[in-house]
């Protein structure tokens, strides 16, 4: 199965990580006998040229959409969405289809789909500056509608009254040109699950995410300055294992996820797990990203983490390959 690893200026902000991560994936795939190469596309013209050549069997994209924006995902409503183009041209690709990819990037739509399917999500409302906020109860949590890596998230995300809420919604609009997703504040523990494979062979592997207490300021939340700097720890989900497995399996089913996603959860005031988001292109940095760490927790090999990483990358690619008969 000849694989093209598609990335570009947004590869780190939107997708699995930077060029070094992309190269680790390429090496892993090659070592498993899947010829793999990296295609860095700077713009739409380069993206279409790559597809026209069609010298590969399947695409694995770090990008939801093609954009010069390196800093954050952005809405890019009118832009070129990778999975849309793949579907139009009937080109096989790894990961969820375009409808699901778009739903996952939009955290409000994710909540709506999950709530309609009976999967627990926080109470939520989408607000633009100036919108009526009378439905919001406090404390509330305010975040950009479609970002990742805790971009736009700090202790200021927790708001206690209408004035703080108004200020934070204005900040999100100004900084990201996105509506703000306002959720009930979930004060409990945080979990994340790697969901791997499809259909009856799909596995949900949940882990507890912790940060040493001294790193928190006012709230036990994963602020942007705590992410990507080696401060978060993943351990087995203990007493929450079955509950998180069930909720993630139901969520993956409701969203129509394919091959692999990572689902984030937190515990609400009443002690129940709620899904906060489904990540369609989770980070895949060897040793560091949560997905490889969780894979090792559950499927650690005697050979060590490097081998586990190879197996994880292989499992994702091969799950997609099986869907297409490649």
Ligand X SMILES: Nc1ncnc2c1ncn2[C@@H]1O[C@H](COP(=O)(O)OP(=O)(O)OP(=O)(O)O)[C@@H](O)[C@H]1O
Q: For residue 18, what are the contacts with CB-CB under 8 A and spacing of at least 6?
A: 11, 12
Minimum distance, C-beta of residue 264 to Mg ion, in the bound complex (Å):
4
DSSP helix/strand/coil, 67: coil
Closest-CB residue for Mg ion? 264
* Of 23 and 225, CB closest to ligand X: 225
Minimum distance, C-beta of residue 276 to ligand X, in the bound complex (Å):
5
The piece of 17-25, 49-57, 113-121, 147-155 that touches ligand X (CB under 6 A) is 147-155
Q: For the sheet with 124-127, list strands across it.
A: 124-127, 180-184, 140-144, 158-159
Judged by CB under 6 A, the chain residues 150 through 189 that form the site for ligand X are 150-151, 153, 183, 185-186
Minimum distance, C-beta of residue 130 to Mg ion, in the bound complex (Å):
28
Q: For residue 191, what are the contacts with CB-CB under 8 A and spacing of at least 6?
A: 206, 207, 208, 209, 237, 240, 244, 264, 265, 266, 267, 273
Q: For the sheet with 36-40, list strands across it.
A: 36-40, 3-7, 58-61
CA 43 to each of CA 69, 76, 80, 301: distance values in angstroms, whole numbers, following the listed order = 11, 14, 10, 40
The piece of 16-24, 64-72, 167-175, 272-280 that touches ligand X (CB under 6 A) is 272-280
| Site for ligand X contains 259 (CB under 6 A) | no
Residue 323's CB is within 10 A of a number of other CB atoms, namely 15
| Site for ligand X contains 65 (CB under 6 A) | no
Q: Which helix (H) or strand (E) holds 193?
A: strand 190-196
| Site for ligand X contains 106 (CB under 6 A) | no
Residue 78 phi, psi (nearest 5): -95, 5
Minimum distance, C-beta of residue 301 to ligand X, in the bound complex (Å):
26
Instruction: Say which entry of Mg ion, ligand X, none residue 22 contacts (CB below 5 to 8 A, set by partner kind).
Output: none
Query: Residue 99 has what DSSP assignment?
Result: H
Minimum distance, C-beta of residue 30 to ligand X, in the bound complex (Å):
28
Minimum distance, C-beta of residue 64 to Mg ion, in the bound complex (Å):
15
Q: Residue numbers of the site for ligand X (CB under 6 A)?
A: 122, 141, 143, 147-151, 153, 183, 185-186, 190, 221-222, 264, 266, 276-277, 279
């Amino acid at each position: 199965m000849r694989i093209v690893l598609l990335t570009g200026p947004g590869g780190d902000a939107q997708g699995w990580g930077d060029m070094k991560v992309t190269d680790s994936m390429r090496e892993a795939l090659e070592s498993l006998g899947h010829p793999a190469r990296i295609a860095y596309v700077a713009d739409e013209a380069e993206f279409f040229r790559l597809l026209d050549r069609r010298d590969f069997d399947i695409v694995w994209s770090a990008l939801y959409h093609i954009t010069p924006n390196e800093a954050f995902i952005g809405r890019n409503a009118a832009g070129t969405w990778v999975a849309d183009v793949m579907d139009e041209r009937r080109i096989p690709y790894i990961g969820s289809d375009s409808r699901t990819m778009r739903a996952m990037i939009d955290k409000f739509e994710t909540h709506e789909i999950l709530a309609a399917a009976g999967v627990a999500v926080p109470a939520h409302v989408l607000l633009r500056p100036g919108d009526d906020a009378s439905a919001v109860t406090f404390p509330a949590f305010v975040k950009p509608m479609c970002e990742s890596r805790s971009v736009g998230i700090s202790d200021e995300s927790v708001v206690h009254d209408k004035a703080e809420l108004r200020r934070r919604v204005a900040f999100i609009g100004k900084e990201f040109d996105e509506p703000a997703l306002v959720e009930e504040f979930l004060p409990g523990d945080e979990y994340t699950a790697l969901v791997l494979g499809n259909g009856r062979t799909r596995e949900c592997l949940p882990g507890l995410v912790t940060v040493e207490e001294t790193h928190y300021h006012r709230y036990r939340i994963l602020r942007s300055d705590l992410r990507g700097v080696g401060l978060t720890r993943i351990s087995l989900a203990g007493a929450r294992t079955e509950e998180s497995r069930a909720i993630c399996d139901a969520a993956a089913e409701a969203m129509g996820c394919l091959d692999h996603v990572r689902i984030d959860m937190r515990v609400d005031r009443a002690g129940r797990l709620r899904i906060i988001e489904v990540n369609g292109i989770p980070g895949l940095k060897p040793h560091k990203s949560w997905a490889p760490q969780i894979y090792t927790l559950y499927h650690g090999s005697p050979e060590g983490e490097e081998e586990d990483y190879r197996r994880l990358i292989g499992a994702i690619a091969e799950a997609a390959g099986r869907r297409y008969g490649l």
